[in-house]
Structure 1
Amino acid sequence: MKTKHLPPRPSGWSAQWFLSSVLLLLGISLSKDILDGTNFQLSANNLRLLNRPEQFHGENVTGPFFEGWYYKTVLPKAAGSVIFIPGVFVPKSMNGEETTDTRQQPHGFVMVIRDPHTVECLYYAYPMSEFSATPGTEDGYGFTVRIGKSTFHDKGMELNLDAAALVRTTDDDTSAFMRKALRERQVLHPELRFPGSEEKLLTREWPRKALSVRGSVTFLDSVRFPGSKLIPTVMGPFAYLPAMECYHGLVSQYHQTTGAIRFETAEGSKEHEFDVTGGEGYMEKDHGINFPMNWIWLQAGSFAREKGSSLMMSIADVPLLSKKGMLSRMVSSIPVYGSWLLSKFHMTGFLVTLHHSRTNTTHNLSLYTGSRIKSILSDAYLNADEKPMQEVEITVTDFWRTKKMMVRAKRPIGAGVPLPGPIVEANRMALIVEETLTVDVDVVFTVDGVIVLEDSGSIAGMEVVGDMKSLISGI
């Protein structure tokens, strides 16, 4: 029997085997880290509820996760508006650590802001045991969200918010938000930087009141966003991507309202009551793991001549890789080119819809339709009363360049109300958004050069958040 002689092992074989083993173990470890950091349940829910943006997407989802429904009610004769934002926040696991900070715990919430009679954002927090959501029909009707003793659904809301459930914003959070707002405004509007201007550029600290809210509001003749297989939601084909950081849904472009909303002191006496019969409304929502870093959002639905028309614009810097995820860290660690490559994993997206009531047509000029933003201009000045004003002008055209929309929005600086939102880095809800409820809007919309809508509104909502120079340069 012949003996088979094995060839001698090449020098360095043991070192190569050791290095390969280390790389294999490292790969397994990275894969586990990536898998652990991916919210597969949320991705599955996003696909399952692809054409039902109004539904609750957080079933069995671990943190970080947030979801919020935006209910806007405009008072009769456009005398003001009241906003309710029911939602839920689930932080990422704290590995057994305990906290007494309600906004760092899983909880349901209802935010309330109003103008006139503006106060700070009222933030009512409830344990997850008092949050529930019921799905509706396949066509998006009949969904229900219950938080505490209040109910929100597609046909209205029943309000029963006790002052005892209020969670106050800390002074540290308020100071940090003020500093951030001041920095952003000084960079964007250097023309307003003169001695003593800092106080005028700051967000106002609104009065704090312990208020309860009772009432009932019914929605009539809701106008839905016209979805399709290709465009299942207002996000269009992007809705098919199951793991984006933030999803936007348009539930009701316009509806009429009946009912009343009563604000009470902690002792139970009436502080103020709003009769909303004959008013107008709008509903949208957001869900995901994090808000964009920079965005402009505008919603107007109380036009002077074209009653029943509604405009929504959202322009945002959208990350395609979460900056806090393992994949981002892997890309950024690539020598020389890492930071440059990571900077390419985002885009400036925009959603623009206009429902024109007279022709009962929804015009969609969003990014995925081939539309383009021709220009975004932001200006600031002092009005006749020496108060700083901000004016934003946006021009959009469709793919064929037959439709053109020019929107000019004007708001007083410092008149907005700071709202909490999810902050992944801090693993909590904290002040990140300033929303102004008294924005003047002028809209001119043409088709083939013919004016279809030329109108003005005065009760629009607007948010301008983050680095606007970076956002505008990305268009």
Structure 2
Amino acid sequence: MKLTESRCPKTELGFTIKMMRIWVLIFFIKTKPSNPVLRDRIHALWNPECYHGWNKSKKFFEGWYYKIISADQKHALAIIPGIAMDEDGTKQAFIQVLDGRNLKASYHKFDAQDFKPNPKKHDLEILGNRFTSDSIELDLPNLKGSLRFKNLNPWSSSWSSPGIMGPFSFVPFMECYHGILSMDHNIEGSLEHNGEIISFDQGKGYMEKDWGHSFPEGYVWMQSNHFSKPGISVKASIAKIPWLGSSFIGHIAGVLIDGELIEFTTYNGTRLKHCSISEKQVCLQMENKHYALSINATREKATALAAPISGFMDARIEESMNAHIQVQLTDKKTGKIILEDIGSSAGIEVAGNHELLLK
């Protein structure tokens, strides 16, 4: 299957986002909101790592994704805490754990009252389990211990473009919002997993999050920060995005290399030149003004995870943490290949009706 060049509706997008920016600015200046819930929601708008569900009571989810890989890559876990609310207002907190090497997943359900986010920073507690930007503390039946994260590399952020969503952050009707908390960081500490003490000292981690009401109807996502040299990380995703009664194919990719994050996004003029999907591979090609990015991902056996639909975790997706991503990054002006490498311990999801991406 192939997807040819795709763009978002720039005229409609630009006008809508400009109006939303103006509305948010005027509202904030005029009202100087004294309502603490409103203040927290505005604070979260420019701080994607924080909780966004203040004053939400139904059809909403929010989850944080911690990918942790041991130094020898023998152990790969994804830990996903979050909150889910269905269309009727039924709520539950959860912590989902994916054991990437053993192809197993567990879903731990909690009362919504046990979900306690900090409104000012990324600091979440769920009944004895704590999750922050630089640490996690776990007290689950089969997973206990604490880890610390150092040298984080978050996605770039500014007043007009807060995080990876960029100007889409200001659009109030998006199906799903996304945040990159760290493209790559170092891990210290150990966990007891199923009775085995596992050291994650000198391991590598990656952090992101999602919030909204549903995952896209069809999407592809992949990430690796295990290349031949440290400090390299690649993340890419393509999804069908509902938009004002229609839809477009949105795309986001980032390459962290030599301390610089090279961004490929729908809103910065990046063009998706090619996408092919088979049972064995996913191939992507993107170009922004200065760089061309080519990715060939080899798919491996995946494990089923719970995913949100209309706020609740009733959908199912499959994720592999054993894939490989072959990456080539080229400077368009000079023709010089800046990066040509293969990333291991790669996470990859091909979810939903991905044929929708062909439209």
TM-score by length of 1: 0.65
Give 1:127's aligned residue.
Answer: 111
For 1:237, what is the secondary structure of its paired residue? helix
Label 1:397 to 1:361 Cα distance change in 2 as closer, same or farther (>3 A): same
Contact in 1 for aligned 2:81/2:96 (Cα 8 Å): yes
Distance in 2 between residues matched to 1:363 and 1:51, nearest whole Å: 21
SS in structure 1 at match of 2:278: strand
AA matched with 2:339: L
1:249 is paired with a residue of what secondary structure? strand
The structure 1 segments of at least 4 consecutive aligned residues displaced by more than 6 Å after TM superposition are 41-45
The residue that corresponds to 2:99 in the other structure is 114
1:263-309 CA distance string (max 9 Å, x none): 23xxxxx2x332100100010000011111000001111112x3111
Q: For the residues of structure 2 that align with 1:84 and 1:367, how far apart are their CA atoms?
A: 28
User: Where does residue 261 of structure 2 map in the other structure?
Assistant: 362
- After superposition, the C-alpha distances for 1:133-184 in whole angstroms (9 at most, x for unaligned) are 1134xxxxx521001110000111000013xxxxxxxxxxxxxxxxxxxxxx
Unaligned segments of structure 1, at least 5 residues: 1-40, 95-104, 137-141, 163-211, 265-269, 322-341, 381-389
> Identity, % of aligned pairs?
30
Alignment of 1:365-384 (within 5 A): 365-380=264-279
Q: Is the 8 A contact 1:71 1:85 kept in 2?
A: yes
Post-superposition shift, 1:253?
Answer: 1.2
Higher relative contact order (CA 8 A, sep 6+): 2
**CA displacement, residues 53-83 of structure 1 (integer Å, 9 cap, x when unaligned):** 0101112211111000000001113334111
Hey, what's the Cα distance between the residues in 2 that align with 1:445 and 1:47? 37
CA distance in 1, matches of 2:243, 2:42: 17
Q: Is 1:318 equivalent to 2:219 in the alignment?
A: no
Aligned length: 322
Match of residue 198, structure 2, among 274, 277, 284: 274
Using the alignment, how far apart are the partners of 1:354 and 1:42 within structure 2?
Answer: 36
2:14 is matched with none
The structure that is helix-richer by fraction is 1
Contact 1:377 1:394 in 2 (8 A): yes
Residue 323 of structure 2: aligned partner: 439
Unpaired segments ≥5 residues, structure 2? 1-35
Q: TM-score, normalised by structure 2?
A: 0.85
Larger Rg: 1
Distance 1:243 1:314 in 2: 20
Deviation at 1:49, TM superposition (A): 2.0
Superposition deviation, residue 90 in structure 1:
1.2
Matches within 5 A, 1:36-115: 47-93=42-88, 105-115=90-100
Kept in 2, the 8 Å contact 1:44–1:242? The answer is no
Which is strand-richer, 1 or 2? 2
Which residue in 1 is equivalent to 2:299? 411
Tell me whether 1:348 sits opposite 2:249 in the alignment: yes
Q: Contact (CA 8 Å) 1:43, 1:243: kept in 2 or not?
A: no
| Contact in 1 for aligned 2:41/2:54 (Cα 8 Å) | no
The match for 2:286 is: 396
Residue deviations 1:1-57 (CA, integer Å, cap 9, x gap): xxxxxxxxxxxxxxxxxxxxxxxxxxxxxxxxxxxxxxxx99996654222101011
SS in structure 1 at match of 2:151: strand
Superposed CA RMSD in Å reads: 1.9
Q: Which amino acid aligns with 2:115?
A: F
Q: How far 1:239 moved relative to its partner?
A: 0.9
Q: Shift in Å at residue 127 of structure 1?
A: 0.4
* Aligned CA distance change for structure 1 residues 468 and 129 (closer, same or farther; 3 Å): closer
After superposition, the C-alpha distances for 1:95-123 in whole angstroms (9 at most, x for unaligned) are xxxxxxxxxx411100001132332x210
Amino acid at match of 1:370: G
Alignment of 1:189-268 (within 5 A): 212-264=142-194
Task: Please give the alpha-carbon distance, in whole angstroms, between the structure 2 residues aligned to 1:296 and 1:147.
Answer: 30
Q: Would you say the 8 A contact 1:78–1:302 is kept in 2? A: no
Query: 1:455: how far off?
Result: 1.0
Work out whether residues 60 and 312 of structure 2, in 8 Å CA contact, stay in contact via their aligned partners in 1.
no
